[in-house]
Amino acid sequence: MGRVGNAIRALLGRSTYQRDVEMGFDLDSPQVIAARERMGGQLVPIPATQTRWLLANLEAAQVEADTGILCTAAKLWNAAKRDGVFSGVLATRTGGLVRLPKRFRGDPEMVEELQIGHDSVRSVFDEMFPPAELARLAGDGIGLGVGVAELLPVEGRDYPVLCTLPPENLVYWWSYNRWFYRSVAGLLPITPGDGRWILHTPGGRVAPWQHGMWRAVGRAFIHKEHALLHDANWQAKLANPARVAQAPQGATDEELQGFWQKVMAWGVNTVFGLRPGWEVKLLESNGRGSDSFERTVNRSNNEFVIAIAGQTVTTDGGAGFQNSDIHRSIRADLIEETGSELAHTLNTQGIPPWVLARWGEERLAMSPCVSWDVAPPRDRNLEATSLVTTANAITLMAQALEGAGGGRRLDVGEMASRFGIPILGDMDGDGMPDEAADEEPDNVIDVEFEDVADEEPEQDAAE
């Protein structure tokens, strides 16, 4: 990629020690295109479904993952999504996050292009990065520590669309320090930021799968599945009581045969007329046999919630608790962590290729950045109150300086930079519009001092 490749590597923060390995095909090679055409454009091979999971599978997945093969770990993570409790909590953290308000910063022209839709209901950003695909990518990052996606070119428009790929086909080669993807065309090397691949690694640069939630979630999922199966088996065998018939010792064989037939025909509203010595009763379980299964299910659900939400009080409620939004359902620092990691991936691998294709290499350094507004509404109220207090302080400070004399003026730019007050056109955060940096600063409050007498400096100094 030449100079462009160096710029992309700088955005990604790629290590100097990581070497380029020329092997395999890229996504635009004729071999890959031909293989995809035979599959109707599909890149992913047909998945192999596993419906029953054992703790031995979890142990094998851990050993397999440390060799760089995430197939079994990813399948277990995907299987856990079949559970209603787990999928609901995960969707709150991922789907709830990507639908929060977005903030853009950077070149105004590029930001406007991202925010405004062109012949579409959604904006260009949402067309390139659909919220549902971003939620899946963020979920894989939470569970496996790594997620992968492809930027698919779309006919008729000059920007691609993100398509999240199943992580079970990810392979990491330790000897090359590089990720590969098993596809219908064979093993493909992944080059993050090349305009086609997106590699989301919130788990870290080295062995990100070791920092994912898949082991804790997988263990809880396996225990819960087994408990539910055993509970269903218990209900099928012991939920219906056994029928017991007792005949007197002197009963004849004919009497016994007729009595057993009546007991066997026992149905709804059956009535027995019995002589002394004959008895009919039900033999029921004490009802405590299924308690262990219920405790296992509750323990697994609790582990799901703690692993994904970070706590349980924001899910099952507490004193004075109102479960009304994502900020009350997921621990705030986890929302911020997921949002910042996902934004970093898009800002380094998703948006720069779009800038490069539309504006060229010379404007790559001005690539806009996106972030999600993860602050709770209560914090927004405090921020608004703080801005009002700051505005009053600026006004009072300007008046105090005016009264002090000596031609003192208040540096509003410094005040804006210190308190984080947004200034239109300020991209470097110094509190002054960038286009006016070389001109006379107009962010300073000029105070007219009519009572200051320049012809009597000694008197003023004495005062």
CB distance 213 to 147 below 8 Å: no
The whole-angstrom separation of Cα 90 and Cα 81 is: 9
Whether residue 424 has pLDDT greater than 80:
no
For 70-114, the pLDDT digits (tens) are 999 999 999 999 999 999 999 988 988 898 889 999 888 899 888
Tokens representing 107?
């070149």
DSSP 208: G
**pTM, two decimal places:** 0.72
Confidence of residue 61 (pLDDT cuts 50, 70, 90): very high
**What are the extents of the domains in the chain?**
2-216+329-372, 240-284, 377-462
The two most distant CA atoms of the chain are separated, in Å, by: 139
263: its two tokens: 């007991």
Answer for the pair 305, 89: CB distance below 8 angstroms, yes or no.
Answer: yes
156's tokens? 């008729």
Start-to-end C-alpha separation, the chain: 70
The radius of gyration of the chain's CA atoms, rounded to the nearest angstrom, is 34
Q: 355-366: buried (b, 16+ CB within 10 Å) or exposed (e) per residue?
A: bbeebeeeebee
Write down the pLDDT at residue 18: 55
Residue 178: strand pairing partners: 173
> Between 84-98 and 131-144, two packed helices, what is the crossing angle to 10 degrees?
120
Beta bridge partners of 161: 152
Q: Does 328 have pLDDT greater than 70?
A: no
Q: How far apart are CA 164 and CA 92, in angstroms?
A: 19
Give yes or no for residue 423 having a pLDDT over 60.
yes
CA distance 202 to 336: 12
Q: What is the pLDDT of residues 238-290, one digit of tens each?
A: 666 777 777 887 787 787 777 777 877 777 677 777 778 788 877 766 666 67
**Tokens 């549902």 -> residue:** 132
Q: Do 74 and 167 contact (CB within 8 A), yes or no? A: yes
pLDDT in tens, 131-155: 999 999 999 999 999 999 999 998 8
Q: Is 124 left (phi over 0), alpha (psi -120 to 50) or beta?
A: alpha
In 3D space, the residue among 21, 14, 9 whose CA is nearest the CA of residue 175 turns out to be 21
Q: What is the pLDDT of residues 225-245, one digit of tens each?
A: 999 988 888 777 766 677 777
Q: What is the pLDDT of residue 165?
A: 96
- Rounded to whole angstroms, the Cα distance separating 393 from 442 reads 19
Token look-up 């996050």 returns 97
Q: 237: which residues sit within 8 A by CB, 6+ positions away?
A: none
CA distance 144 to 210: 8
Span 42-66, average pLDDT: 93
Residue 13: per-residue pLDDT: 55
Tokens 């930027």 sit at which residue? 151
Percentages of the chain per state (helix, strand, coil), in multiples of 5? 50, 10, 40
Residue 54 φ then ψ, to 5°? -125, 160
The average confidence (pLDDT) of the chain is 80
**Cα–Cα distance list, 48 to 204, 244, 428 (Å):** 28, 49, 51
- Amino acid at position 167, single letter: P
With the CA atoms of 257, 263, 265 and 267 taken in that order, what torsion angle do they form, in degrees rounded to the nearest 10? 170
The residue written with tokens 């990720």 in the block is 179
Interatomic CA distance for residues 296 and 159, integer angstroms: 49
**Best CA proximity match to 162, nearest among 200, 116, 198, 113:** 198
Q: Residue 137, Cβ neighbours under 10 Å: how many?
A: 26
157 secondary structure, DSSP code: S
Give which of 140, 159, 81, 87 is closest to 356, Cα–Cα: 159
Give residue-wise pLDDT tens across range 6-27.
555 555 555 444 556 666 678 8
Q: What Cα–Cα distance (Å) separates residue 242 from each residue in 70, 280, 286, 291, 397?
A: 49, 11, 13, 21, 88
